[in-house]
Amino acid sequence: MCGIVAIIGKENACEHVLNGLKKLEYRGYDSAGLAYISDKKMFNVRSVGKLNKLIKVISESKYSKLESSKIAIGHTRWATHGKVNIKNTHPIIYDKKIAVVHNGIIENYEKLKAKSFLKSYNFETTTDTEVIPVLIDSFVSNGKNFFESAKSTLKLMEGAYAFAAIHQDFPNEIFVARNTSPLVIGVGQDFKVVGSDSHSITQLVNQVIYLEDGDYAIIRDKEIEIYDKKDEITNRKIVNVNTDIGVVTKDGYRHFMEKEIFEQPNVLINTISSLLQENDKIDISTQKMGIKKNKSILISAAGTSFYAAVVAKYWIEKIANISVSVELASEYRYRNPSNIGFSSMIVISQSGESIDTLMAMRQAKKLNLKTTAIVNVEGSTIDREADYSIYTRVGPEIGVASTKSFTSQLTVLFLISIKLANENNSINNKDYKNFVRLIKTLPNSLSKCLKINSDIINIAQKIKNTSHTIFLGRGYLYPLALEGALKLKEISYIHAEGFAAGEMKHGPIALIEENLPVIMFLISDGLEDKSISNLQEAVSRGARTILIADKESIAKAKFVNFAIEIPEFEKKFVTTFSPILMAIPAQLLAYHVARERGTDVDQPRNLAKSVTVE
């Protein structure tokens, strides 16, 4: 989603802004731009498309004093209001003197535009953002200084947003504000920098301040004044952050997604070793999680993280005998949920910034539930606001499609399941030890799963021209069918639907027609014959069937068109671990189909990595 970078007090401000924006590219965007002030004059350069295009535009034209400017703001835009075109690209400039970059949505922008005191203003864009510089101008025209004008503007705004503004007549100040959408200020000695996340600015600073909701600040090269929502000057904590992890590269892979799929054995070692102690105890406190006897657990998330939650429901209920409810965060937050029967909520989020998940967590807090975040990005809003955090530690995930995050979230959730089960004696010590032993073998098993890559390429070539697909799974593999379908549709743009195998006859079977690819995840769990029958029913109606399964199941379903065999895993436990093992073929299939179709795999159309608007 939109990325913001701003800087004051540093030579080559524009270059630094561009470097910061590069690091926000993973969030997904459709246009980019920057504005800077030089000799009390505002300049701006914008382009539709990726940052490389903006950089080309800059290098091909002579932009006045671009190198010498010490104040600049920049933006990558993911369109919410208004088409993707130059006019709507940020910074949104008013009268060549006020520039604003904005992330989020100003919900009352139409009402604000209609204010009588703005009657004389012409709005040139179709964005909600434009109302900000216009309001600032109206207040400045009435004699207020820049800070007071921006503050007055802020007080009129409703919605979830973060923005930064500069004014050419006040060239020594940047105004920033945050309400729900993230914003971080980096503290350099003689300069200050602002970013949508700390990753975008740690090439310049190693101390940051996370603004809280309702905060706004006026930033000068040597000082930062922060105000809270009650307009009182406030001291927010200065946090030391890991120094720059550098620009993440593809390391010879064609796409970040491919790299991230193949990284999974290694990153899983990080996830596991950060939570599993030498004595095989799991470093997770179920007490801090607020889990109580006879109380159910609530898990909430969005997208792929939600499908990890569904797998966790199956695991925790089966292994620990504790009932679990899963909630799509976007639904939970608005439906006046009850807290009866619950003492805790787990939220799962790679980015730690998904607005729906954040809001679901806040809703749970209002209901007095203890909140635990399973999160990848340390210092993200969800991490900071949760009562307790457990990190997946997979490093930056750049591809919009979540891959290594999913398997690491599952691993954390499995550790929670057996910890709970061991604590409430649903499993004995021997079983516990056995599970721990198997968790330690997971990285190696994932390496073996990756070896089926070439078989999957073969299938991808066969189905790449289809327009529709169906994914099926049962039990632990039902959420995987949903995840497989999500992965395929988001990066290949092929319509894909996931169903529980047993649901086929209740409607979806009507979709089957000649040659429709039906992809089934299957494991010998005692119910495989039922699922095989479901597949037979699809074959009878002309479907092309692709089975991703263990050896035993494949032997029973010789009629399928293609079969992918997952590597052997300890027989007694293969069902339990199947969602982690089969995540790899699901990801590889989506990846290769998309690559064959030539889509923008890492930044698919219309999508963003951090979904910070509703």
Binding site for ligand M6R (CB under 6 A): 302-305, 349-351, 354, 357, 400-402, 486, 490, 611
Nearer to ligand M6R by C-beta: 130 or 490? 490
Q: Is 497 exposed, middle or buried (0-12, 13-18, 19+ CB in 10 A)?
A: middle
Shortest spacing between CB 134 and ligand M6R, in angstroms? 32
Mapped onto helix, strand or coil, the DSSP state of residue 499 is strand
Q: Are strands 159-167 and 174-179 parallel, antiparallel or unpaired?
A: antiparallel
Nearer to ligand M6R by C-beta: 26 or 521? 26
Listing DSSP states for 189-218 in one string gives: SS-EEEESSGGGTTTT-SEEEEPPTT-EEE
Whole-Å CA distances, 226 to 38, 195, 223, 233, 355: 26, 16, 10, 6, 23
Token reading at 533: 């029958």
Per-residue buried b or exposed e for 397-426, using 16+ beta carbons within 10 Å of the residue's own CB: bbbbbbbbbbbbbbbbbbbbbbbbbbeeeb
Nearer to ligand M6R by C-beta: 44 or 409? 409
Shortest spacing between CB 301 and ligand M6R, in angstroms? 6
β strands within 350-483, DSSP E: 370-375, 388-391, 468-473
Shortest spacing between CB 365 and ligand M6R, in angstroms? 17
Which active-site residues does the annotation give? 2, 609
Token reading at 47: 């382009």
**Angstrom distance (rounded) from CA 446 to CA 417:** 20
Token reading at 435: 């599970």
Token reading at 25: 């590219």
**Angstrom distance (rounded) from CA 47 to CA 31:** 6
Give the residue at shortest CB distance from ligand M6R. 303
Shortest spacing between CB 350 and ligand M6R, in angstroms? 4
Shortest spacing between CB 13 and ligand M6R, in angstroms? 30
Mapped onto helix, strand or coil, the DSSP state of residue 225 is strand
Nearer to ligand M6R by C-beta: 290 or 303? 303
Whole-Å CA distances, 248 to 24, 590, 605: 11, 23, 22
Nearer to ligand M6R by C-beta: 396 or 502? 396
Nearer to ligand M6R by C-beta: 356 or 528? 356
Shortest spacing between CB 78 and ligand M6R, in angstroms? 13
